[in-house]
Structure 1
Amino acid sequence: MSTATTAPVDRLLYTPDEAAEALAIGRSTLYELMAAGTLKYIKLGRCRRIRRTDLERYVASLAPLPN
């Protein structure tokens, strides 16, 4: 019996926990970034979601370390 593997779903929206994991930062740090307006998010009812494009924009805005 063979099992077919499927590719992971390319998400458009992430929960704060998922976004923190994707960025390899702590959950509280992510909430601090959201509260400061550094990382944009949307509210769906009482839930917060972060767009994939906003995660990418945040990472692109990070300055590289000097050599």
Structure 2
Amino acid sequence: MAVWFGLTSGQWRARVSVAGGRRLLEATRSEDLRMQIRGALEFWPTHAAQHQHRIHQRPTRL
């Protein structure tokens, strides 16, 4: 996750990695951005990310 403040835009932004890919979140207040980050992470539970990873792994040969 990366969080930054745009001086020219006056916006807080965060790039959050979730199971479906990355999401860019924006807010005018840091508290609002924090709530958006929590919502994004709760929407994509960690077990979904692990399941997604297993699907795209190559099968192991015996």
On whether the aligned pair clears a TM of 0.5, the verdict is no
TM-score (structure 2 length as normaliser):
0.29
Q: Which has the higher strand share?
A: 2
